[in-house]
Structure 1
Amino acid sequence: MSTPDRSIPIASADVPLERDLFLRILVRELSGTLQDVVGLEEASGFISVVGQRVGEHIDHSYKTALDVSTLSREQVAQVLVDLKRRIQGSFYVIEEDADRIVFGNGHCPFGSKVLDRPALCMMTSNVFGVIAAENLGYARVELDKTIARGDGECRVVLHLSDRRAPDEASSEAREYFKSS
């Protein structure tokens, strides 16, 4: 090991570190540790609890900002796209009708830190599910494709009705209900 060059001030050192990157690394390592220690299913459960609380907070923030007590179906879709935009995701609506909204996404807010951390996708599932259920009464979220699993993009199906076709019996779908 060589003697450090004291002519470069530490504060000027080319270290790729700032708050956003630090927090993404922190969340990645926390979720990875959970996945390694308790397994993917249990880690997803822990992250789901956090996602539920975050979803409740975001739902309240949008309703307060829009001065409404309940979001309409159209507003729910717009809020979900907007919240992801605000945290540097690129979600968009692929298709929608009275029973479901299908979202696509080409860039995860966690960036490359989400790779091999599918438990982090429970944040999206819970935030989407909580906001939709709190305003529309019910939601079922399917994560058809995820960047975390290596799909290269996300495809999230938000079902707004509990009516299911025989081919919609996905075991990975999570249901959400209005809390009160």
Structure 2
Amino acid sequence: MVGLKEAEGFITVVGSRIGNAIDNEYKTAMRVNALPRDVVSSVLVDLKRRVGSDFEVEYEDDEKIVLRNSRCPFGEKVKGRPSLCMMTTNVFGRITANNTGYAKVHIEQAIATGASGCRVVVYLSETAAGTEGGVEFFRTA
């Protein structure tokens, strides 16, 4: 019903709100004010598995978290609709930034664009992110 940019914008708003809500739920369940950096990647994987994805951590250090996924919760309907990836971008970015102060999410590969899986890099500092593409997030809560 709407164009690609409008859909992307709508999903961005929804994803950001959902990211904040999920972040609060995890912090409440863990009884912490902020998720430790080394727990953030586990939270990202857990929440995506709960919605039907198959994310796993490929690599992580103090500068970035690299995640792979072989199953999209949108199933076959995601193909040709990369705007739906803004949900992952915003949820990952919002949760990470709220707990570490900064995130830049770059989806390097996506099932939506025809790849066999997704590869998502979450940079944890502006220095690490450099000029790589992606969407930046800053702590808001």
Q: For residue 133 of structure 1, what is the aligned residue in structure 2?
A: 97
Q: For residue 24 of structure 1, what is the aligned residue in structure 2?
A: none
Q: Does 1:169 align with 2:128?
A: no
Q: For residue 83 of structure 2, what is the aligned residue in structure 1?
A: 119
Q: Does 1:144 align with 2:108?
A: yes
Runs of 4+ in 1 over 6 A off after TM superposition: none
Q: Does 1:95 align with 2:82?
A: no
Secondary structure of the structure 1 residue equivalent to 2:127: coil
Amino acid at match of 1:174: V
Map 1:35-54; keep pairs closer than 5 Å.
Answer: 38=3, 40-54=4-18
Secondary structure of the structure 2 residue equivalent to 1:140: strand
Alpha-carbon distance in structure 2 between the residues aligned to 1:89 and 1:72: 23
Structure 1 segments unaligned to the other structure (5+ residues) = 1-32
Amino acid at match of 1:136: T
Deviation at 1:164, TM superposition (A): 4.3
Identity over aligned pairs, percent: 51
Alpha-carbon distance in structure 1 between the residues aligned to 2:137 and 2:109: 20
Q: For residue 118 of structure 2, what is the aligned residue in structure 1?
A: 154
Instruction: Give TM-score, length-normalised by structure 2.
Output: 0.95
Amino acid at match of 1:150: G
Alpha-carbon distance in structure 2 between the residues aligned to 1:118 and 1:41: 11
Alpha-carbon distance in structure 2 between the residues aligned to 1:156 and 1:164: 15
Alpha-carbon distance in structure 1 between the residues aligned to 2:87 and 2:74: 11
What is the alpha-carbon root mean square deviation over aligned residues? 1.3
Contact 2:66 / 2:120 at 8 angstroms: preserved in 1?
A: yes
Deviation at 1:42, TM superposition (A): 3.3
Structure 2 segments unaligned to the other structure (5+ residues) = none
Alpha-carbon distance in structure 2 between the residues aligned to 1:88 and 1:145: 18
Alpha-carbon distance in structure 1 between the residues aligned to 2:108 and 2:131: 13
Asked which structure has the greater CA Rg, the reply is 1
Alpha-carbon distance in structure 2 between the residues aligned to 1:50 and 1:135: 19
Greater relative contact order (Cα 8 A, min sep 6): structure 1 or 2?
A: 2
